[in-house]
Amino acid sequence: VNELIINLPDDFHVHLRQGDETPDYAKDHEAHFNRIMVMPNTLPPIRSAESMLAYYQEIKAAAPSLNPLMTFKLHPDYTPEQLRALKEAGAIAGKYYPQGVTTNSEDGVREMDALFPVFAEMEKLGIVLSLHGEEPSAFCIDRERVFIKKMEKIWTEFPKLKIVLEHVSTLEAIELVKAAPAHVAATITVHHMCLTLNDLMGGALKPHYFCKPVVQGPQDRKAILNAACSGNPKFFFGSDSAPHLRHRKEQSVCAAGIYTAPVAMAVLMELFEEQQALDKLENFCSGFGADFYGLPRETSKKLRLIRQEWTVAEEYHGVVPLYAGRTLGWKAEKI
């Protein structure tokens, strides 16, 4: 195969930041994606219908052919009226950030149970629960493994609430999602499919491979790769593309996040080819996510992947992307 044409992909987990930076990141996504689900951990966070709509307009103005799917940051104080207003303004998911586990989560939730009344309203309104699955009090490497033990309680109490465990990083999480009811799914990033702790810190520390949840062991990476390539509709693409300016990564305190938007489709193509699963790529990045969220599949816009070498730029707008400087074997272009 030297060329593959697929329906234009959707990315169900993206960070676009705020202010002057947003248009650049939005345009990078516009080059290869149709719909993107935008995360609400901006400064200040997206917590109201008004701020969500304003953010939507900003993204749309910068990248008119990109279709942002909006989210808001969960906290226990939402009233049913506020949640209804968010739903009416187009919110498709509420994002749960446990306190302090990742970028801009200092205002996150301490006790999951405090959110149960909010989950009940979300279930009624048909708003998806999007989970950053890390337990803050656990050892850093084990945070996801500990967090996921609490998930069964959510899906049993709220059998109609759709739940997405974002950016799965462990074999245990893959197994749990596989065994869970059909209303529980997971997003998979490119970086969790190709990196392990060895890449991050097996030799010198590589800040541009640092993200949350942190990349794990070879058996975890393999399980994630297999799940993505398996054709199981519970697993779909969410890049967690998370830009931080170079100086915020290359300093004594390194921000968590990997900028993958410019390379995601080329790297996915390479990984699916290696796994002899090219026939599974389109569902993974242009089908299952939309199906889970109850959105129509986009069939009129396409992405062409061509076997062609190109070298990843060292920086995009001051951000070092995944595989900066590396030559990749596939090139993606919207047609």
Active site (catalytic) residues: 240
Do 190 and 323 meet the contact criterion of CB atoms below 8 Å apart? no
Q: How far is the CB of 269 from Zn ion (least distance, A)?
A: 22
Site for ligand DOR contains 41 (CB under 6 A): yes
Smaller CB separation from ligand DOR, 212 or 234: 212
Residue 87 interaction partner, one of ligand DOR, Zn ion, none, beta carbon < 5-8 Å per kind: none
Which span (110-118, 142-150, 185-193, 235-243) binds Zn ion, by CB under 5 A? Answer: 235-243
Q: Which of 34, 103, 216, 239 binds ligand DOR (CB under 6 A)?
A: 103
Which span (81-89, 182-190, 236-244, 309-317) binds Zn ion, by CB under 5 A? Answer: 236-244
Cα distances (Å, whole numbers) of residue 322 to 168, 241, 300, 307 = 18, 9, 30, 19
Find the binding residues for ligand DOR in span 127-166 (CB under 6 A): 132
**Listed residue (296, 286, 328) closest to 194, CA to CA:** 328
Alpha carbons 256 and 211: distance in angstroms, whole number: 4
Find the binding residues for ligand DOR in span 51-90 (CB under 6 A): none
Q: Is the dihedral of CA 40, 169, 177, 284 positive or negative?
A: positive
Point out which residues pair with 185 in neighbouring strands: 164
**Listed residue (111, 112, 110, 108) closest to 97, CA to CA:** 108
Q: How far is the CB of 275 from ligand DOR (least distance, A)?
A: 24
Alpha carbons 120 and 74: distance in angstroms, whole number: 13
Binding footprint of ligand DOR, residue count (CB under 6 A) = 11
Smaller CB separation from Zn ion, 172 or 240: 240
Cα distances (Å, whole numbers) of residue 105 to 32, 114, 269, 274 = 29, 17, 32, 36
Cα distances (Å, whole numbers) of residue 139 to 42, 208, 211, 257 = 26, 22, 16, 19
Binding mask 175-214 for ligand DOR (x = CB under 6 A): ------------------------------------xx--
Residues that bind ligand DOR (CB under 6 A): 15, 41, 102-103, 132, 211-212, 240, 242, 256-257
Residues that bind Zn ion (CB under 5 A): 240
